[in-house]
Structure 1
């Protein structure tokens, strides 16, 4: 070993010892980065993690990369209840929270900041916490971490009376954070005569009322946004248009009217995509300043006399069961391929909806996203296969498959801010077929060269 190699090894050992002794924010873990060729498509997949440590990505409704594009933030059980960052080029893994978090991890797009909620000492009280990621990465690399309070700032605290939840979203202006409030608080602001919905579907979810409030992350000021007569889920901010919110009626499956939008001052509340009773709409995600992608499911299957099940439309009243949600009569008559289904994109301004693409059979695309430049869309299906769509030509390309239907969750694809790559979670390398890892999938070079 050369003298320079010995020096680098000594520095690394010193850093690892320091952060391991600290065992908190800034703690470092060895690189697990591997490049694996997909056995079916040949796509080179960059596994940023590759061991069974309880990894999962942030939900597709929220940013995944830090504002400098170098780090991917993810959830992990390497340290129970804490969030991690992995450097896409080096594979270095760094713990970026201390003291736990609840709900959604929110990355700022204009600054190296991370925001999240966590329980305070008082019952039913939540704090919104801001993390200075640039300082964490700098001091962690130098092996000179300071106390956690140096990097984590409490932006504000929600009173217990709000019944606040962890379904949080950071506004595009990076000054306001939106979050869900409970039934009692929501009822105070509900317009007179509003219909209070009951639980819907076999999971007995969806009952209201619920509401959305917002906190100024600079001052801690709290304002009510809106109340509705149903259970709210998947709150997300339009990352390109400050003050615009998209959320859903959450039932755990099919909703009578899934997608909704409202402005931060409470105005403009309306269904984002008014759906018909036969449509199963799900997994909406804001993808550009003016557009939201969503899946319109085509999940009904034909049950044959010999027991086989093939993609198609089930006979009326047929209960086909199966591993994919919604394939039973309890959810109602929805998801039929007798009507248009697939990866739908709705324009927030013109309200026009277009179908970008759909798989030829089976349940169809399930979790969807799109590149911010409007060129591409992406979706996963129930086989855990990832499909890329050219929005101009409608051409579809299988990017990767073999991610194991036994995986703990779906791939949940999310585009990077520059539209050149997609992050997923995958069980391809797991021995138990369940544990997932963080993976980056490139958009093919020939597709990026298209005008």
Structure 2
């Protein structure tokens, strides 16, 4: 077993390491992908089959499945495709190819075309019972024809986001029935709609955001697929307060998100319980801020992918894969105060799992928990070309 990263990156005569103990954390790291240029899915896209046996990744060759027991990698869909999500109910990978939506069984490879994507459309999520696919349609300034969404190439990332935000193009949400291909449109507006994701348990509930510079938007919202129940998840109360990179808890009961009060100064992982409206805010330190946070399948742990010096937290030592254990602050307030209406404060106790000092954060690691909660999966270029890795949550030898 190999210790330390410095000795083995890509070389002329050696492949990258497949397994090692991180010398700084004592945790075992394994490389899951075999093809350089492989990537795990975005942090809120379900990448695991319902039986918990397979992890879906992308490779330069197409979409592949990693057997989480044997680590064998199989190509499932060949060619240039964009994955949407792995089904919550069936072992199906949903993806787009050449303007259409497809579904392929991970085990049998049986494939069907579901529907064509409407002009100006983009799809991003499949619901809990796999009966609906959701996405957005963008229109031009005249409100009828599909609109331009690509910023000038000479702009920085921040400038491109600002450019797109300032277009105020008409957009709307839509669903497509996976059995019939029927298209339904709803919630037309002039906000930049993004991060569309279905609840993992409620087949008619969508989470989405008003995209743009976070300090300029009321970002996170939920809505029913019939267009009712539009709800703002986090009203801002402070100048330069920002929140985003929202996701559902695995049980669908809570929306979690990165919260900063104000931007780049005070850091929280905040949660909103959908049924009760109760709020929980867990504090963390500047160096612990992460591009993306996630919660474990049982809701008892969080993980984060860290961040570089040039990102919003300006962390001096933030390039780590983190595990977080949440602790609520004991409520010792007077009995005549209705504490259910107050924010429940807490602290995230961090543990460093992987030293990411060699990683270029232009590629976001996008951590996820495996279904058995024994590993955290992430993508990284720390050994050269991008690969998919997993770090064991238990310390090696424990």
Which category describes the TM-score, using the shorter chain as reference length?
0.7 to 0.9
Matching residue within 386, 392, 396 for 1:442: 392
CA distance, structure 2, for counterparts of residue 89 and residue 170 of structure 1: 26
Give the secondary-structure state (helix, strand or coil) at the position aligned to 1:391: strand
Q: Give CA-to-partner distance per residue, 1:242-289, whole Å, 9 cap, x none.
A: 211111122265542121111111111122212243212121111231
Map residues 181-200 of structure 1 onto 2, 5 A cutoff: 181-183=137-139
- Specify whether residues 186 and 286 from structure 1 end up closer, same or farther in structure 2 by C-alpha distance, changes over 3 A only: farther
Tell me if the contact between 1:169 and 1:236 (Cα under 8 Å) persists in the aligned partners. yes
Map residues 118-157 of structure 1 onto 2, 5 A cutoff: 118-119=97-98, 126-136=99-109, 151-157=110-116
Partner residue of 2:198? 237
Gaps of 5+ in 1: 1-30, 120-125, 137-150, 189-200, 299-333
CA distance, structure 2, for counterparts of residue 293 and residue 368 of structure 1: 9
Tell me if the contact between 2:88 and 2:129 (Cα under 8 Å) persists in the aligned partners. no
Q: Which structure would you say has the larger Rg?
A: 1
1:374 deviates by 1.5
CA distance, structure 1, for counterparts of residue 125 and residue 372 of structure 2: 21
Give the secondary-structure state (helix, strand or coil) at the position aligned to 1:205: helix
Tell me if the contact between 2:272 and 2:278 (Cα under 8 Å) persists in the aligned partners. yes
The answer on 1:105 being equivalent to 2:84 is yes
- Specify whether residues 210 and 354 from structure 1 end up closer, same or farther in structure 2 by C-alpha distance, changes over 3 A only: same
Matching residue within 178, 185, 189 for 1:224: 185
Tell me if the contact between 1:213 and 1:223 (Cα under 8 Å) persists in the aligned partners. yes
- Specify whether residues 275 and 86 from structure 1 end up closer, same or farther in structure 2 by C-alpha distance, changes over 3 A only: same
TM-score calculated relative to the size of structure 2:
0.77
Q: Quick one: higher RCO (CA 8 Å, sep 6+), 1 or 2? A: 2
Matching residue within 296, 301, 304 for 1:376: 301
Give the secondary-structure state (helix, strand or coil) at the position aligned to 1:428: coil
The answer on 1:70 being equivalent to 2:26 is no
What is the aligned length?
336
Over the residues paired in the alignment, what is the CA RMSD in angstroms?
Answer: 2.8
- Specify whether residues 294 and 159 from structure 1 end up closer, same or farther in structure 2 by C-alpha distance, changes over 3 A only: closer
- Specify whether residues 186 and 233 from structure 1 end up closer, same or farther in structure 2 by C-alpha distance, changes over 3 A only: farther
- Runs of 4+ aligned residues of structure 1 deviating over 3 Å after TM superposition are 184-188, 252-255, 417-420
Matching residue within 223, 246, 262 for 1:284: 246
Gaps of 5+ in 2: 1-14, 145-157, 308-317, 329-347
1:96 deviates by 1.5
Tell me if the contact between 1:205 and 1:250 (Cα under 8 Å) persists in the aligned partners. no
CA distance, structure 2, for counterparts of residue 247 and residue 185 of structure 1: 22
**If each structure's helix is expressed as a fraction of its own residues, which one has the higher value?**
1
Map residues 283-432 of structure 1 onto 2, 5 A cutoff: 283-288=245-250, 289-297=252-260, 334-337=262-265, 340-359=266-285, 361-362=286-287, 364-382=289-307, 383-392=318-327, 394-430=348-384
1:101 deviates by 2.1
Tell me if the contact between 2:140 and 2:169 (Cα under 8 Å) persists in the aligned partners. no
Tell me if the contact between 2:127 and 2:204 (Cα under 8 Å) persists in the aligned partners. yes
Partner residue of 2:129? 173
Partner residue of 2:149? none
Partner residue of 1:55? 38
TM-score calculated relative to the size of structure 1:
0.68
